[in-house]
Chains A and B, each alone.
Chain A
Amino acid sequence: MARLIETVDLHKTYNPGKPDEVRALQGVSLQIEEGEVVALKGPSGSGKTTLLSLLGCMSRPSSGLVTVAGRDVSRLPERFLTAVRRQTFGFIFQQFNLLRDVGVLENVLLPLYPQECPVKEMRRRADALLERLGLAHRRHLKVRQLSGGEQQRVAIARALVNAPQILVADEPTAHLDSELAAELLEILGGLRDEGKTIVIATHDRFVYDHPLIGRVVALRDGRLAAEAP
C-alpha cells in the first residue's frame, strides 16, 4: 500500500502569544496508507478535530509537515489548499452541516458548483449517489423535512459526489442512535471495499471497536498516546 497522508512533528497553536493560547497539537507524526481505515480516538480537547482539519487541508499547521499523496500542503496558499481539499477529500461533519432550507439534491451538488464539471454530469453523479443511499425518492425535499438518519446519508452523498480519494468524518455517530450508527458504518465499509481511505475522529467505542476500523490512533493532550492494531 502506498503512503497517502503523512504528518511530521505537527504543531498547532491557537492564539499564539496571547493569554488564551491553546496548544492543540504538539509534535504529532503519523502515516496513513492508501485504502486504510483509521480511527482517531481520545477525550474532548485531545486534539482529534484539530488533527482531522489539518489532515483534511482545512487549516495549516503552526509548524511541522503535512503531505498528501506526496505533496507538501503545510504552507500552500488558501487557493491551492482549497483545490487539494476539493479534489482529494470528502467530509462528513458531526452536525451534518447541510443547508437546511435547500433541497436534498442541491445539498449533494454543493461541492460541484465551483468546479468545471458540466451540469449534466453533476446531476448524474448526484442521482447515482442518492439512489445508492436510498434517498432517490427524497431528492426534491428540503433537508429540514428529513429524519436525522436521512440527513446523515445526504451528508455522505455530498462527501462522495466529487469522487474523493479520502473520506474524513468527524464524530459521525454523535447524533445517531445505535441502529443508524450501524447503518453508517455499513456504508463506510462499502466505501472501504471500493478502495477509499477513511479517517474517522471519534470517542464512540462502538465505532473504534468496529471491525471496519483497521487502526486506532489515540490522542491525549495534543500528543499521540498509543496506537492499537
Chain B
Amino acid sequence: MSVTRQLKILEFALAATLRQRGRNFSILLVYTLVIAVLASVLFLTRALREEATLLLSRAPELVVQRIVAGRHDLIPLDYGRVLATIPGVGQVTPRVWGYYYDGLTRSNYTMLGIGADPPEGLALLSGRLPRLPKECALGAGVAGLRGTGPDGDLILVDHRGRTVDLPVTGVFRSDSALLTNDLVLLGEDDLRSFFGLPPDRATDFAVEVRNPQEVETVAAKVKQLLPDTRPITRREILRTYDSVFSWRSGMLLTLFASALLAFCVLAWDKATGLSAEERREIGILKAVGWDTADVLALKFWEGLVLSLTALLCGLILAWVHVFWFDSQLLTPVLKGWSILFPPFALVPSVDLYQLFVIAFLTVTPYVASTVIPSWKTAITDPESMMRS
C-alpha cells in the first residue's frame, strides 16, 4: 500500500477520532492515567538506582565496622594498624559520623566530621568548607529546612542537651542530592564533642584496596584477623539497593499489572462490542470500495493515534510527577516509609529502552484490541449493506 494512500486513510482516521470526541476523550483519560502510573514507577525506580549508583561510586571499596552483640558499635583506632598490614590494602581512613534527629523540623541529618582532607566529590554551592572550630557546612536540604545559609547559624542540641551554635560557612551542591542533601559537615573534634565520642574510637574505617579484583579476598582476610568486625564491600551495598528498589518497584508493577489488565479487558470489551453504528460504518466503507486491508489500516491508525496520544500525555504526566513534584504519590513506597529525611529532587534520567518497554506494554494491547475485532466485521461481504 502506497504512502499517499496510507496518508489519506490516516487523515480519515483522524477525522473519525475527532468525530467521536466524547467517547475517545474518556478512553484517552483512563489510558493516560494507566500509562502515567506505569511510567512514574519506572522513571522513579530508575532515577533512584542512578542516584544510588552515583552516590556509591564515590564510596570506598571497603568499609569496616565493628559489631558488638550483633549491632554496629564504635571501632577502636588500633584496628586501623591491623588493617594496614593486610596485603593489597592502601590507605586506611577512620571516619567519624552519626545521625542527628532534629525535632524542630522532624528530620534526620547525617553529621560527618572532617580532618585536614575534605571528602571527595563535594562541591560547594556557596561559601567554603569549615576550617575553624565550631564551624559547619550544610547540605542544601538542611539549609532549606532550617532557613539558614552562609554567614548564618545552625543551632543544634548536643548529647548533653546543651544548644550548640554552629556558624555556617557554606552550603553544598552535588550532582547527586542524595550525597549531600541531609549532610552537616564539621570538624572531627567538634563532632566528637557534639556526640560525646571517645578520642580513641571512630565510627568505621574506609579501606582502600589497590586492586578492585581483590576486594572480596581482603574482606575475608579482615574478618579472619578481626572477627568482631563486619567488612562491607561497595558491590554488596549496590546489590542491596538494587534488590530493594527492584522489590519495591516489582510490588508496584504487580499492582499496576492488574490495572493494565483491567484496562485491556475494558478496551477489548469496547472493541469486540462494536456498536451498530461502527459496524454500519465498516459496511459502508466496504460497499464503496474499501477492501479489508483498507478498513484494518483505518482501525490501526485510529488505535495508534489514540494510544500514542495517551502515551505522550502519560509520559509527560509521569515526568512532571516524578521530577517536578518529587513523585508525591509513589515516594512513600519506593523511597522508603521514613519521612525524616529532608526532601530532595531526583536528577531526571530516562533511557530509550525504558520508553520502548512502556510503549510496548501499553500501545500494543490497545491497537490489537482495536484492530482484531474490526477484522471480524471487515471480512464480511459488503452485500449486507444492500439489505440494511
Interface-central residue, A49, A91, A162, by most chain B CB under 10 Å? A91
Does B104 make an interface contact (CB < 8 A)? no
- Chain B nearest Cβ from A190, distance in angstroms: 22
- Judging by beta carbons under 8 Å apart, are B386 and A93 in contact? yes
- Judging by beta carbons under 8 Å apart, are A170 and B386 in contact? yes
Q: A97-B385, A106-B15 are in contact. Are A82 and B8 (CB under 8 A)?
A: no
- Chain A nearest Cβ from B372, distance in angstroms: 18
Q: A58-B382, A91-B288 are in contact. Are A114 and B19 (CB under 8 A)?
A: no
- Judging by beta carbons under 8 Å apart, are B289 and A118 in contact? no
A91: nearest chain-B partner, CB-CB: B287
Does A26 make an interface contact (CB < 8 A)? no
Contact indicator per residue, chain B 53-85, by CB within 8 Å of chain A (1) or not (0): 000000000000000000000000000000000
- Judging by beta carbons under 8 Å apart, are A79 and B293 in contact? yes
Instruction: Give every chain B residue within 8 A of A162 (Cβ-Cβ).
Output: 289
Instruction: Give every chain B residue within 8 A of A112 (Cβ-Cβ).
Output: 8
Instruction: Give every chain B residue within 8 A of A21 (Cβ-Cβ).
Output: none
- Judging by beta carbons under 8 Å apart, are A95 and B281 in contact? no
- Judging by beta carbons under 8 Å apart, are B8 and A52 in contact? no
Contact indicator per residue, chain B 279-301, by CB within 8 Å of chain A (1) or not (0): 01101111111111110000000
Instruction: Give every chain B residue within 8 A of A122 (Cβ-Cβ).
Output: 8
- Judging by beta carbons under 8 Å apart, are A78 and B292 in contact? yes
In B276-329, the 8 Å CB interface with A consists of 280-281, 283-294
- Chain A nearest Cβ from B289, distance in angstroms: 3
- Judging by beta carbons under 8 Å apart, are A110 and B15 in contact? no
Instruction: Give every chain A residue within 8 A of B294 (Cβ-Cβ).
Output: 113-114
- Judging by beta carbons under 8 Å apart, are B383 and A82 in contact? no
Once the chains are docked, how many angstroms separate the CA of A162 from the CA of B288?
Answer: 10
- With an 8 Å Cβ cutoff, the count of chain B residues facing the other chain is 31
Once the chains are docked, how many angstroms separate the CA of A95 from the CA of B2?
Answer: 33
Does A119 make an interface contact (CB < 8 A)? yes
Contact indicator per residue, chain A 27-48, by CB within 8 Å of chain B (1) or not (0): 0000000000000000000000
- Judging by beta carbons under 8 Å apart, are A114 and B291 in contact? yes
Once the chains are docked, how many angstroms separate the CA of A169 from the CA of B115?
Answer: 97
Once the chains are docked, how many angstroms separate the CA of A78 from the CA of B291?
Answer: 8
Does B102 make an interface contact (CB < 8 A)? no
In A38-93, the 8 Å CB interface with B consists of 49-50, 52-53, 58-59, 78-79, 82-83, 85-86, 91, 93
Once the chains are docked, how many angstroms separate the CA of A103 from the CA of B385?
Answer: 20
Q: Give the contacting residue for B288; candidates A95, A158, A170; CB below 8 A.
A: A158
- Chain A nearest Cβ from B381, distance in angstroms: 5
- Judging by beta carbons under 8 Å apart, are B9 and A113 in contact? yes
In A148-185, the 8 Å CB interface with B consists of 158, 162, 170
Interface-central residue, A79, A86, A91, A113, by most chain B CB under 10 Å? A113
- Judging by beta carbons under 8 Å apart, are A58 and B5 in contact? no
Once the chains are docked, how many angstroms separate the CA of A163 from the CA of B383?
Answer: 21
Does B160 make an interface contact (CB < 8 A)? no
Contact indicator per residue, chain B 137-172, by CB within 8 Å of chain A (1) or not (0): 000000000000000000000000000000000000
Q: A97-B284, A99-B281, A110-B284 are in contact. Are A58 and B383 (CB under 8 A)?
A: yes
- Judging by beta carbons under 8 Å apart, are B387 and A49 in contact? yes
Instruction: Give every chain A residue within 8 A of B290 (Cβ-Cβ).
Output: 82, 110, 113-114
- Judging by beta carbons under 8 Å apart, are B5 and A115 in contact? yes
Instruction: Give every chain A residue within 8 A of B286 (Cβ-Cβ).
Output: 82
- Chain B nearest Cβ from A181, distance in angstroms: 20
- Judging by beta carbons under 8 Å apart, are B284 and A99 in contact? yes
Instruction: Give every chain B residue within 8 A of A58 (Cβ-Cβ).
Output: 287, 381-383, 385-386
Contact indicator per residue, chain B 1-25, by CB within 8 Å of chain A (1) or not (0): 0101100110110010001000000
- Judging by beta carbons under 8 Å apart, are B289 and A86 in contact? yes
Q: Give the contacting residue for A110; candidates B280, B288, B385; CB below 8 A.
A: B288
Once the chains are docked, how many angstroms separate the CA of A98 from the CA of B281?
Answer: 8
Does B224 make an interface contact (CB < 8 A)? no
- Chain B nearest Cβ from A125, distance in angstroms: 14
Once the chains are docked, how many angstroms separate the CA of A102 from the CA of B281?
Answer: 11
Q: Which residues of B contact A (CB under 8 A)?
A: 2, 4-5, 8-9, 11-12, 15, 19, 280-281, 283-294, 379, 381-383, 385-388
Contacts A97-B280, A99-B284, A111-B289 aside, 9 further interface pairs with beta carbons under 8 A come to A49-B386, A53-B381, A58-B386, A59-B381, A78-B292, A99-B281, A101-B19, A114-B289, A115-B289
Q: Which residues of A contact B (CB under 8 A)?
A: 49-50, 52-53, 58-59, 78-79, 82-83, 85-86, 91, 93-95, 97-99, 101-102, 106, 110-116, 118-119, 122, 158, 162, 170
Q: Could you show 12 A-B contacts with beta carbons less than 8 Å apart?
A: A52-B386, A59-B381, A59-B382, A78-B379, A93-B287, A98-B284, A101-B19, A114-B5, A114-B9, A116-B4, A116-B5, A158-B288
Closest 6 CB pairs of A and B: A86-B289, A82-B291, A114-B294, A59-B383, A53-B383, A111-B288
